[in-house]
Amino acid sequence: MLSSSRIHGLEEEILRIYGEIEADLIASLSRKLATGYDLNINDWRLDKLSQMGSVRGSLESRLKTLTKDSSPKIEEAIIKAMSLADKADLAIIGSGSREVFERLTSYAIMNARRGINLSNSQAIEASMNAWVSSVNTAYIKTLTGGTSLEQSVAQAVRKMGSEGLVATYVSSSGRVTRQSLEVAVRRAVTTSVTQASTQMTIERCEEGDIDLVEVTAHDGSRPEHAVWQGKVYSLNGKTDGYELLAIATGYGEADGLAGVNCRHTFYPYVEGTKRQKDIGDTKEVYEQTQEQRYIERNIRKYKRQAQACEAAKDYQGAETAKGYVSSWQGRMREFVDSTGLTRQRAREQIQS
């Protein structure tokens, strides 16, 4: 079983790594954008648009280096999560073959790599869209806003640093969504690990001749998931009185148990033994946790903006952004003091 705390731990590692990568790419764009102020505004715009090929090549090279450095860390986090999940199952079942763990861990890593590669491609496209948008925004503001080119570029950089890199994704069903780089990678990795770990639980149950599993539960679950969480189900229909897991929960479907963005998993259950519900947070704590995530996003947002401004030599903008960082950090201190939640500093970090 992959518990909710282990899923959170994996998400934090992905958030830290790709938050740094996103900030690095934005700083690189900002640095290249804030040049050529000796040109007139029309020549500056043409010059920047003509640099698109070289900018793309530079970003692709930088992203390749950053991904190469981060891949071992991500794979280490996946192996750790899978190992802890298997250990929890074996504590109930007793023992199992090493082959199951190795095969499904490799499967989780392979799927995560596939998702990361897609997200990296989208990150380049999002970066180029941000480049064109920033060039055009600075151009128009300079022509119509009564500001200098340098001031207009500074405003464009601040906007890019604030918004981050947002890519457009089209699902197999044709649904279009816009996600930040870190969200897309986090979803790809955690979904891969969750699906691999639940398959590992099923195979452990087969080894131990166990037909029943208990699904984890947490408050704040999606309404359609809340109806089946925290209950015991049959894997194969061998035990009377229990619904089949796949039918009751939609296990195996994108919107079902262990599907996209689902934090529910399950673990072996022996009839008559004590239930081990992974209840998680109460509704109040869940809502407080969402508020904490909101504050963390704003801390990262203004740290990213400060880094972009510094890269563009917009030191006034950097100081303003740092002031917002301090303000949101103060809000975080007050929030954790009043709620008793633990401050998770790793989720606030953006490093170059």
List, as one string, the DSSP characters of 187-234. HHHHHHHHHHHHHHHHHHHHHTT--EEEE---TT--HHHHTTTT-EEE
Measured torsion, CA atoms of residues 132, 135, 141, 142, in degrees rounded to the nearest 10: -150
Query: Among 156, 188, 209, which residue terminates a domain?
Result: 209
Q: Rounded mean pLDDT of 141-150?
A: 90
Q: Rounded mean pLDDT of 245-253?
A: 92
Per-residue pLDDT of 125-137, as tens digits, reads: 999 999 999 999 9
What pTM was estimated for this model as a whole?
A: 0.81
My answer on whether 194 and 66 are in the same domain is yes
Please indicate, yes or no, if residue 351 is contained in any of the structural domains. no
Please indicate, yes or no, if residue 157 is contained in any of the structural domains. yes
Please indicate, yes or no, if residue 40 is contained in any of the structural domains. yes
Residue type, 7: I
Q: Which domain holds residue 300?
A: 282-341
My answer on whether 22 and 105 are in the same domain is yes
- Give the separation between CA 279 and CA 90, rounded to whole angstroms: 21
pLDDT above 70 for 70: yes
My answer on whether 194 and 290 are in the same domain is no
Please indicate, yes or no, if residue 244 is contained in any of the structural domains. no
Overall domain count for the chain: 2
Residue partners of 186: CB distance under 8 A and separation at least 6: 11, 14, 15, 18
Output the six-digit token pair for 48: 């920047």
Query: Among 183, 209, 235, which residue terminates a domain?
Result: 209
Listed range (125-139, 163-177, 201-215) with the worst mean pLDDT: 163-177
My answer on whether 58 and 169 are in the same domain is yes
My answer on whether 155 and 289 are in the same domain is no
- Phi then psi for residue 196, to 5 deg, are -70, -40
pLDDT above 90 for 346: no
223 versus 22: the higher-pLDDT residue is: 22
184 versus 156: the higher-pLDDT residue is: 156
- Give the separation between CA 165 and CA 49, rounded to whole angstroms: 19
For residue 190, what pLDDT is reported?
86
My answer on whether 304 and 194 are in the same domain is no
Q: Rounded mean pLDDT of 173-191?
A: 80
Q: Rounded mean pLDDT of 53-58?
A: 94
Output the six-digit token pair for 120: 């990296």
pLDDT above 60 for 279: no
My answer on whether 198 and 298 are in the same domain is no
Specify the DSSP class assigned to residue 274.
P
Query: Among 209, 228, 262, which residue terminates a domain?
Result: 209
My answer on whether 37 and 139 are in the same domain is yes
Specify the DSSP class assigned to residue 61.
H
- Give the separation between CA 310 and CA 270, rounded to whole angstroms: 59
Please indicate, yes or no, if residue 80 is contained in any of the structural domains. yes
My answer on whether 185 and 36 are in the same domain is yes
My answer on whether 43 and 127 are in the same domain is yes
pLDDT above 70 for 220: no
Name the pLDDT band for 179 (thresholds 50, 70, 90).
confident
Cα torsion 64, 68, 69, 75: sign: positive
pLDDT above 70 for 219: no
List, in sequence order, the alpha helices (H) in the chain.
Answer: 4-33, 41-50, 52-93, 98-144, 149-163, 181-207, 223-226, 245-249, 283-311, 315-339
Name the pLDDT band for 268 (thresholds 50, 70, 90).
very high
My answer on whether 31 and 123 are in the same domain is yes
Please indicate, yes or no, if residue 261 is contained in any of the structural domains. no
For residue 96, what pLDDT is reported?
85
My answer on whether 85 and 182 are in the same domain is yes
- Phi then psi for residue 175, to 5 deg, are -75, 130
Q: What percent of the chain has pLDDT over 90?
A: 53
